Structure 1
Amino acid sequence: MAVFWKAMAGGLLLTLSLTLLGWGVEGQGNGRGKKEVSGGATVYLGQDRDIWRPMIYTTVNLSEIHSIKSSFQLRTFDPEGAIFYGDTKNGQDWFVLSLMGGIPLMQISREDILISVAGGPKLNDGKWHTLEVSHQEKFVVLEVDGSNRLEVGMQSKQTQEILVGELRLAVGGILINKEKMIVQFEPQMDGCVREGSWLNLSIPWEADVEELWPCYQNIQPGSFFAGTGFAIFNTSVFPIEADHVVKTELWGDFSKMDGTILSINVPGQEMIFALVANNNTKEVTLTFGEEKLSMNDIFKRLVITFETDKLQVFQDEDESKTTKLSFAGSHPGYLTPWREGRLAFGGLLGKGEDDVGSHFLTGCLEKIQIQGRDVDLDLAVKHMSISSHSCPA
């Protein structure tokens, strides 16, 4: 995908495009310590790296650009993240395309103009959507699936110059200081781009990773854990209601999970709470201090309520499968870790910096809620192997 500004016939020429085609990625070294990849590669935007760093990037001479229309496909369940960046004049004029709240957001800086515009349909429904960006006289036009249009008009009072030099393009990140943007957003996106038509150019792209991660052919909503890391929150971000109850709800096929689903502890102390799945025995075990509960029935939803003097576990909201753990006099109390602890999804918390975690989860949590609100793992300190918004289907 590419964006550039160029004076032509007294107007603004803005081109956005992307060349991403096929599931496989073939690459080779280019002698500069970079990974060279085909411009037709499918790119997973959530691959492990610094969150603002582009996934792939390239540079092209402006004199080689003749097309003013580009298109590509995007698929994601993620409501927010960077899709594409382009600039001229080494970053003085730039363009950023992202999603925010699932809706396309374009931000443009050119000479004395700084514009932000959002609109169109929500795109984070897990389906492939075709986006086309073109320059039509003084307007930049974004079309979604051939009909929904978002238009931006731009006209500078300054004398327009004929641009020469290079155009920098990047997918999945930006090449300027993020503070220059009008609208700030979380850049990492759990999504894929493919099948781009990019300025009719065939120049190679570069990546700083050894291999590009593949995109799954089919996906479903959820958070996928690959067995190599977890997501951590301070429990203080989840408020305890006036009734002194904390309600945690987990959805998924627990019989297909393996590893620690959820753990809670207070730093420097022994593990207080752990929920662990065993794929071999098809058993889910809940441990709270010295108390232990094993569940081997097939279920798709687990509700755990923490109260001052008891902990209750519901399977599929079936009252006949409700288990209550009562408060013991020597126990610190079921709500204590929620006031001063750490919570991890997908791994067993360690005691400190030298013992970060272990027994990581492999599997899909289709939905996570605490106090009736969806939990977004993008807001946690998490391992980059975790897909926050999609699982393979």
Structure 2
Amino acid sequence: MGRSVLLSCEPHEPRVLKKQISGRTPVNLGQERDIWKPLVQSTTNLSEVHSIRSVFEFRTFDPEGAIFYGDTKDGEDWFMLSLKDGIPEMQISKEGTIVSVAGGPKLNDGKWHLLELSNQGKFVILEVDRAKALVVGLGSNGADDLLSGQIRLALGGVLIDTKKMIVQFQPQMDGCVQEGSWLNLTAPWETEAEELWPCYQNIQPGSYFPGTGFAVFNTSVFSRDAEQDGLKIEIWGHFSQMDGTILSMKAPGQELLLALEADNNTKAVTLTFGNDKIMMAEDFNRLALIFQKDLLEVLMENDQSEARRLSVASEEQPAYLGTLAGGRLAIGGLLGEGEEHVGSHYLTGCLQKIQVQGKDLDLDLAVKHASVSSYSCPAEIMKGHID
């Protein structure tokens, strides 16, 4: 009689393989992940640390987001460097006391800046381009135990409960860090990303859509007074270099109201409004859609300030402005059937600026695919390719 063998099939957590990279590796902080989760991090015994000083280069057009984090005592004492309104902000927690200070030059100008963070006695100092920007003093009656335990460092997120911070902010950072020298350590950083996104050599302001996702807004945010005052959407960019759906609009339970699509092969832009379809083959870099009660006006302008205006009657879309109250506006994709935010024909290209009702549209406030860069485009896209 043979033996029976019982195989255990108990569930277990999948093991996440981490990739090691050099601390000097360029890191695109906008890479897809949970919004507060660091993109790269490192853990080291404090006994190996001989200099509390980190230096790195940083570049962004984004006015707000997480940059650099560090902690000891398993997160009891921690440090956070972020941007808010483009200005550096440090939050520091030590022995239960949390301080926050903001100041220095605006860093969201798209240029590389040299940032240095150091701990000198009871002071934490931030230098920007070799000039002091922020100095924070922290007195303590506790024992100096910094040389025991471990120190954790992270880029693009935090390792603590975000409720501990006294200044809340949007963590997504469309920016890059490179040439880092972290404390005096040579140990590699770790990341769960299979491959790190590139930091392009040259960037320009705008929102970049790589052809893999889009951003969706609830139109009620813009259309509270639309029935009386109308709705105006303006887009800047080189339309002849785009491919895919630039914009679409849809109300719940109704057919697609509007779609604006570009074809990089024909260099044509097609506007579909209800049953009307308009082909616009001319090259232009600003497009305004002006929704009024009985018609849709389309204004196109080029670099020579030449303008062309089209008017489309809305007879087949009665009271369409009112239907937008609970509708959806998609930037970079075609809204699908039903109530799902299912998109297709995603946009590949750069939108230099988007305004609704005369105000800049912040894609970080949308439900968007993480591949969409809210504030920067690779400058190579202007040449029709990305190196």
Once superposed, which parts of structure 1, at least 4 consecutive aligned residues long, lie more than 4 Å away? 317-320
| Residues 24-48 of structure 1: CA deviation (Å, up to 9, x unaligned) | xxxxxxx972112222211000101
CA distance in 2, matches of 1:130, 1:319: 42
Match of 1:192 in 2: 176
CA contact (8 A) 1:248 1:305 kept: yes
Match of 1:181 in 2: 165
Match of 2:343 in 1: 357
| Residues 274-300 of structure 1: CA deviation (Å, up to 9, x unaligned) | 000111111111111101111111111
Structure 1 position 276 matched with structure 2 position 261: yes
| Residues 93-112 of structure 1: CA deviation (Å, up to 9, x unaligned) | 11111111101010000103
Match of 1:47 in 2: 31
Letter of the 1:272 counterpart: L
Q: 1:377 to 1:323 in 2, by over 3 A?
A: same
Match of 2:11 in 1: none
| Residues 116-161 of structure 1: CA deviation (Å, up to 9, x unaligned) | 1100000000000001111223211111111242100110234444
Letter of the 1:383 counterpart: H
CA distance in 2, matches of 1:356, 1:193: 33
Letter of the 2:360 counterpart: D
Match of 1:112 in 2: 96
Task: Give the alignment partner of residue 293 of structure 1, picking from 278, 290, 294.
Answer: 278
TM-score between the two structures when normalised by the length of structure 1: 0.88
Displacement of 1:84: 1.1
CA distance in 2, matches of 1:138, 1:116: 15
Match of 1:374 in 2: 360
Task: Give the alignment partner of residue 251 of structure 1, picking from 231, 236, 241.
Answer: 236
Match of 2:370 in 1: 384
Aligned residue runs from structure 1 range 126-137, under 5 A: 126-137=110-121
CA distance in 1, matches of 2:24, 2:187: 10
Unaligned 5+ runs, structure 1: 1-30
CA contact (8 A) 2:16 2:192 kept: no
SS in 2 for 1:352: coil
CA distance in 1, matches of 2:80, 2:73: 15
Query: What is the RMSD computed on CA atoms of the aligned residues?
Result: 1.7
CA distance in 2, matches of 1:298, 1:277: 11
CA contact (8 A) 1:113 1:156 kept: no
Q: 1:137 to 1:162 in 2, by over 3 A?
A: closer
CA distance in 2, matches of 1:339, 1:69: 52
Displacement of 1:80: 0.6
Letter of the 1:89 counterpart: K
Q: 1:302 to 1:158 in 2, by over 3 A?
A: same
Structure 1 position 312 matched with structure 2 position 297: yes
SS in 2 for 1:272: strand
Unaligned 5+ runs, structure 2: 1-14, 380-387
Displacement of 1:369: 0.2
CA distance in 2, matches of 1:354, 1:248: 23
Q: How many residues align?
A: 362
